[in-house]
Every structure is written in structure tokens, then in C-alpha cells.
Chain A
Amino acid sequence: MISKRIIPCLDVMNGRVVKGVNFKDIRDMADPAEMARYYSETGADELVFYDITASFEGRKLFTGVLRAVASEIFIPLTVGGGISSLNDFDTVLKCGADKVSVNSGAIKDPSLIGAAAKRYGSQCVVLSMDVKRVNGKFHVFANGGRTDTGIDALEWAKRGEDLGAGEIVLNSIDTDGVREGFDLPMLRAIGEIVSVPLIASGGAGKMEDFCKLFKYDKVDAGLAAGVFHTKKIDIGNLKSYLRDCGVNVRL
């Protein structure tokens, strides 16, 4: 049977891995290739790379980094950040990505999801959603969590799936970087209405948080950045712990 997945996320800016809290206060952390190798060796099931640079120069650095990582890390790689056209899909896939994650680009033009699914297959298209509570409702935010689109997250998730997204990453802005656990109420709200794999992101602080997460069986994977980057949680230890909790993990 398919295992639950543990996915470290590398936010890359100007060729370096960085990390913020609540999507702000960005700090420099490490060299992406070195970090990717470390994660691959310690048991990560997949890696996510987000390009959070805006400039053209930054983009070139990013595809260079991606190519370097993809040529020596043989686990699935998902790439996101600023993806807004089929051309962008093409670029990152040629640099070794296996899946491409869309966020603001798909909010601006939802037909991108369908067009990409048709060309590359649904398994290649990941819908990443940054979601925050606004007046008791779950709103989708765009532009790296800065702009409230007013779009209802439940409707957007369902629409994304219908358009052809093969996976959904749910980033809770409310719990991002706070390290007090994943946003289970938000995950349940989305998990009940979509049937594609659901990846939880935002809030991991300790190993117990992952155990609680996977008790909800509609979640397929847990994604985190800071707790792995700072080595507060070692992925190998985490997976042994999860196995002892009865979670099916690749060990």
C-alpha cells in the first residue's frame, strides 16, 4: 500500500534556501543542493522547491539550482513559484521537475490547470493554496499570502480538482511558521470535498504534530520547512516514530 509522505519544502531566493514566519521575516538558511542531498539521504519522500525570487536574474539562478539538484537527487521533485503559463511548466520540467505547483497563476487564469493537465497529465499538476480565516470563512490568498482574493477555499479546491489538478497542497497561513501543529480543522474542511491526494502544510513543530496529522486518513503527505531545516526534526527519526504510531511510512 502507498506510504504517507514526508516532504521538506525549500524556498529558494537568489540561489539560496530561505525561510520566513507567517510568510514574512525571510532568513537565509542554506545551499539548496547540499540541503536536497541531505534530505534525500535522510529519507525524504519528495522535495518541493519554491522559487520566491521575482527578478529575471533570480529565475535563471533558480533553474540552474534546480538542474543541479535534479541531476543528483533521485526522488520526485515538485517545483512552484511564479508559474503562470505552459511555457513555465515546460521550463521547469525540462530542468528535472516531476510535478509543477500552481498558485497565483492559476487564480489569475484557472484554465492553466486544465491546459497543463491535458498536456502533461494530472499527476503533474499540483494546486497549491494559501488559505487564511477571514470572518469565519476560509479565503484563498494570492501573491505569496499577501492578497486576499475573497475566493472561498472550499470552492477553489473543488474547482481545481475538476479542472484537472492531480494533488492539492493546503498551506494554512494561520498556522504557518507558528510550530503548534497543522491546521486540522482547515484540512478537514478541504479533505471532505476533494478526492485527489491532499498535502498538509503549515504549522509542524514537533513529531507528534505529524502523528496527529496522519490520524486523519484523507491527508496523504505532510510538508514542512523550518523544523527540518533547523534540524529540530530529523526525517529519519520522524519516520521511525511515525511507524511506531502505526503510520505506513517508507523506511
Chain B
Amino acid sequence: MIAVVDYGVGNLFSLMSSLRYLGLDCIVTNKKEDLLKAEKIILPGVGAFGDAMEKLKETGLVGTIKDLAGVKPLLGICLGMQLLFDKSFEHGEYEGLGLISGLVAPLAADINPTLKVPHMGWNKLEIVRDDPIFKYFTNCEWVYYVHSYYAKNCSNAILGVSEYDVMVTGLVRSPSGMVYGMQFHPEKSGNAGLRLLKAFSEI
């Protein structure tokens, strides 16, 4: 069973629909027992980092997620991926979960000012390092992004990138563990996204 963490951030309709479409047993939950029982955990999220971290703390699940991250596969999606890092500089400076070393910084500061932010739309995901997550994925398939901040100083965790003047961190994995993160939305990336979720479900 896959537990999707519900901490009041964002809309889980598409993510749950895509997991169900793949025939996966999944629940939306904010209960510790469910996370303990689950085989895998997904941490979704949209919105602002500081606010999301605060809401996640309010659920009382931070300790459990950190403990389980070393034991079972965990996947952060979009803002949920950003929360996996040490800290973020979105509207201030906030501590993250610290499960992957690196930080989250504004894209606008690093790219050509004529490019639009958010980085929104379909971009190619280039595989940097092979991994079981790419079991059903071909190099340079297209994935769907919507974000204004991105993860950096995390080169030893990067599995896939997308070019948007800079190389945007697209897919990460903790160097020696089972903590995965996707900056793009696999649940909105058509067939390619479904295949990435399927591969995660088999890890």
C-alpha cells in the first residue's frame, strides 16, 4: 500500500487518480499508523515552502517521515521534493527535512531574465545517472513542470535534469537511500509520468 501524506497542501485529485489508474493500492492519510503500515510513502505539495513545512509539522508526522525514510521508499513531488532538502530560501530561510543534502533557491536569480518564471510547461528530462526509477522511461521524454524555485548544490543526488537556461534539478535520489524526489508533476506528465510512478511503486 502507498500512503500519500495529507497535510492540507494542494490538490491530491490527480495524484490519487493516477495511482488508481495504475491499479495501485493507495490511501490519503495524516495518521502515523498508516505511514508505519505502508510499503511506500508519497509526500506531495504545492504552494510556499515555509507554509508547507509549518503545516507538515502540525500533523506531527515529521519525525515518523524522517525515521521511515531510511526504511521504505519515499517520493516527494514538486514542493514535496523541495521539502526533502536541508533548507529553502523561498520568502526567507526555512529548514527542510534534511533527507537529501542541498538547498532550494529562486530560479529567477540564476536564469536569463527574458525567460519566464514560473518554469511552467513541458520540458525534456535528461537522464544523468541510471536508476531503477527509469525502468519504464526513455531518455529525454517530456515531463510537466510548474515551479519558481529549484534544488541546487545537490549534484550527488541528481538522476535527471531539464534545461531551462540552467540545468534544473528534475529527479533526485538520496545517494545511499530510497528517498526520491520529482520536481515535475508525474501525475500531469501523461504516459511518461505514469511510467515513472509505476517504477516507483516497484522499488
Minimum distance in angstroms from B80 CB to a CB of chain A: 15
Minimum distance in angstroms from A62 CB to a CB of chain B: 16
Contacts of B123 in A (CB 8 A): 1-3
How far is it, in angstroms, between the C-alpha of A75 and the C-alpha of B193 when the chains are bound? 9
Among the stretches A94-102, A107-115, A129-137, A208-216, the one at the interface with B is A94-102
B190 touches A96 (CB 8 A): no
Minimum distance in angstroms from B45 CB to a CB of chain A: 12
B116 touches A5 (CB 8 A): no
B193 touches A74 (CB 8 A): yes
How far is it, in angstroms, between the C-alpha of A1 and the C-alpha of B11 when the chains are bound? 27
How far is it, in angstroms, between the C-alpha of A196 and the C-alpha of B47 when the chains are bound? 19
Contact digits for B85-126, partner A, Cβ 8 Å, 1 yes 0 no? 000000000000000000000000000000010111111000
How far is it, in angstroms, between the C-alpha of A95 and the C-alpha of B14 when the chains are bound? 9
Total count of chain A residues near the partner, CB < 8 A: 26
Contact digits for A151-182, partner B, Cβ 8 Å, 1 yes 0 no? 00000000000000010000000000000000
B122 touches A3 (CB 8 A): yes
Minimum distance in angstroms from B151 CB to a CB of chain A: 19
B120 touches A74 (CB 8 A): no
B138 close to chain A: CB less than 8 A? no
Contact digits for B171-203, partner A, Cβ 8 Å, 1 yes 0 no? 000000000000000011111011000000000
Given A74-B18, A74-B190, A75-B144, do A2 and B13 touch, yes or no (CB 8 Å)? Answer: no
Name the interface residues of A107-148: CB closer than 8 Å to any CB of B: 121-123
Name the interface residues of B136-167: CB closer than 8 Å to any CB of A: 142, 144-146, 163-164
Checking B11, B116, B119 against A93 with a beta-carbon cut-off of 8 angstroms, the contacting residue is B11
A70 touches B163 (CB 8 A): no
B121 touches A2 (CB 8 A): yes
Contacts of A95 in B (CB 8 A): 13
Given A70-B17, A95-B13, A250-B142, do A196 and B121 touch, yes or no (CB 8 Å)? Answer: no
Total count of chain B residues near the partner, CB < 8 A: 29
A28 close to chain B: CB less than 8 A? no
A71 touches B47 (CB 8 A): no
Contacts of B164 in A (CB 8 A): 1-2
Given A74-B188, A74-B193, do A2 and B122 touch, yes or no (CB 8 Å)? Answer: yes
Contacts of B119 in A (CB 8 A): 2
Minimum distance in angstroms from B113 CB to a CB of chain A: 10
Minimum distance in angstroms from A76 CB to a CB of chain B: 5
Given A2-B121, A74-B193, A166-B118, do A121 and B13 touch, yes or no (CB 8 Å)? Answer: no
Among B17, B119, B144, B190: residue with most chain A CB under 10 A: B190
B21 touches A197 (CB 8 A): no
B120 touches A5 (CB 8 A): no
B68 close to chain A: CB less than 8 A? no
A74 touches B13 (CB 8 A): no
Name the interface residues of B44-74: CB closer than 8 Å to any CB of A: 46-47
Contacts of B142 in A (CB 8 A): 3, 250
Among A75, A93, A122: residue with most chain B CB under 10 A: A75
How far is it, in angstroms, between the C-alpha of A121 and the C-alpha of B194 when the chains are bound? 25
Contacts of B146 in A (CB 8 A): 123
Minimum distance in angstroms from A239 CB to a CB of chain B: 11
Contacts of B14 in A (CB 8 A): 70, 74, 96, 98
A40 close to chain B: CB less than 8 A? yes
A123 touches B118 (CB 8 A): yes
Contacts of A45 in B (CB 8 A): 121-122
How far is it, in angstroms, between the C-alpha of A166 and the C-alpha of B163 when the chains are bound? 22
Checking A40, A72, A76 against B17 with a beta-carbon cut-off of 8 angstroms, the contacting residue is A72
A220 close to chain B: CB less than 8 A? yes
B163 touches A123 (CB 8 A): no
How far is it, in angstroms, between the C-alpha of A224 and the C-alpha of B80 when the chains are bound? 34
Chain B's closest residue to A67 (CB) is B13
How far is it, in angstroms, between the C-alpha of A1 and the C-alpha of B116 when the chains are bound? 11
A197 touches B188 (CB 8 A): no
Name the interface residues of B1-22: CB closer than 8 Å to any CB of A: 11, 13-14, 17-18, 20-21
Nearest 10 CB-CB pairings of A with B: A2-B121, A71-B17, A250-B142, A250-B122, A96-B13, A3-B122, A123-B146, A75-B190, A76-B188, A74-B18
